[in-house]
Amino acid sequence: MASMEPTASIDELARRFGITPDMVRRALGQLGKGGRRIDEVLKELVAQERTIACAADAPITDLGPGSLGAAVPQRFGKYEVLELLGRGGQGAVYRVRNVALGRIEVLKVLTSLGGESSDAHRRFVREARAVAQLRHRNILPLYEVGVEQGRPFYTMESFEGESLAAAMARTRTVPVRLALTIVRDAALGLAAAHLGGIVHRDVKPANLLLSRETGGKAGDREDLLSGPADGLRVAVVDFGLARMAGEESLTAESVAILGTAPYMAPEQILGEIRQVDARSDVWSLGVTAYALLTGTLPFAGDSLLEFQRHIPDDEPVRPSRLRRGIPRDVDAIVEKCLEKDRARRYQDAGELADDVDRWLAGDVVAARPAGRWLKTWRWARRRRHLVASVASTLAVSAVLVVWLALLPWVSARRAEARIEREKAEALAELENRLSRGEFSETIDLAGARAQAHPDLADACRVSRAKAYLGRAGERLAASEAGATADLAMAYDCAAGLDR
């Protein structure tokens, strides 16, 4: 085997050999010792880092990039292992050669311990069953399902390309038409799954593979998100969390929230397992579309709890506000995918694909953008308890403001009523004193009341005139002095009325 180029990308070497970039750097530091080749150093480090737990694990743990270029290629059954593509907590994925057919395939093996009753084993089998039912250009076909040396496995088509997540990591913005084409093709693959009663439940860029078949060099990763939309193939992969219609949840799934938090629909991230259906996949694909168009996620968060707070309640910023040039109809398509109410979303991925096709063809789309008042109404419905509390506070505040505004008027009316009552009481008192023959007291009281209430001056003069006449009559009857003076004062009071 020819020696590997030392100038190869550290990340590429780490990926091919299934080790960390730090291990690659360690290997590069040993290149000068005895003229050793980079592949030799890397294989030695791999051997040092990996140990075999037990003999039963040997066929799996020995598989990997460390065997690349060995004189006798390592085998897994009838498959010759070429390289490790990825490894997770429960499984590993390899690029292999089917020796019998001479065909390059992808092999996925369950590596986690546990019997057939374990959730990991059941989920692996479920994924194989789900993919085996599907035949669509945008879903990688399954070739074989089996068990080799106690390990379940399946093989599928080898896909020359990379994940959408990896492509997006190199590209800040994606042309709108190309982004919508990717979404359409992914939706077509999901639509085939939905028609078969299968819900993916983990749609995200990492589970969408891209490959250029025409319009560029096949497998050219630099060209995937910058070349023409024609000739780009999209494949939906990793149905490990898929759920088939009528199937019971696994033990762990009945209490766990499965999926990738930033891409989960509200019903999924809140753990409403029975509410998760094809429309949940539509939401996840809508988040993917949002990220393709804007370079950011519609909902921010650093933890599951934060996403559980933001996704069900917050409204995302319209894509066209984050990136100029996004058409209004594209905004409407993405917003329809991200409707909080499942009934207002596309009902399955097929409806989404049809609407995107309309936009790509220049036709009118079915989605309509939500207006500001509609968004406000939906926001209020989701926060009805908060809105009720705020409404109560505003109502109390409004009553208080009105009361404060009316207080001067009310005070003035009360003062006027009090004055009118005092005047009425004053006149009644004068009449009572006259009727009791208290003429002298009436004369004094009438003068005081006239000064206190000038508008009662005439009424007080009348009372004084009556009182002077009454006292004059008493003095004449008693032959007392002063009767003439009282008559004169009564005359003056009466004369004042004319003035």
- Active-site annotation, residues: 202
> What own/partner pairs with CB < 8 Å and gap ≥ 24 does 411-420 have?
419/453
- Partners of 152 in the β-ladder: 147
Q: Report CA dihedral (88, 349, 176, 172) to the nearest 10 degrees.
A: -20
The rounded distance, in Å, linking the Cα atoms of 17 and 113 is 23
Nearest partner of 338 among 361, 312, 356, judged by Cα: 312
Contacts of 268 (CB under 8 A, 6+ apart): 201, 257, 259, 275, 276, 280, 283
The rounded distance, in Å, linking the Cα atoms of 451 and 497 is 16
Q: Position 114: which residue type?
A: G
Q: Distance between alpha carbon 144 and the CA centroid of its chain, in Å?
A: 40
- Partners of 208 in the β-ladder: 236
Residue 470: half-sphere exposure toward Cβ, Cα within 13 Å: 18
DSSP assignment letter at 455: G
DSSP assignment letter at 304: H
Structure tokens at 168: 């997006």
E strand or H helix at 462: helix 457-477
φ, ψ (nearest 5 deg) of residue 210: -120, 140
Percent helix, strand, coil in the chain, to 5, is 55, 10, 35
The rounded distance, in Å, linking the Cα atoms of 229 and 224 is 9
Q: Position 497: which residue type?
A: L
The rounded distance, in Å, linking the Cα atoms of 299 and 310 is 6
Q: Position 99: which residue type?
A: V
In the numeric block, the tokens 């080799």 are attached to 148
CB 97 within 8 A of CB 147: no
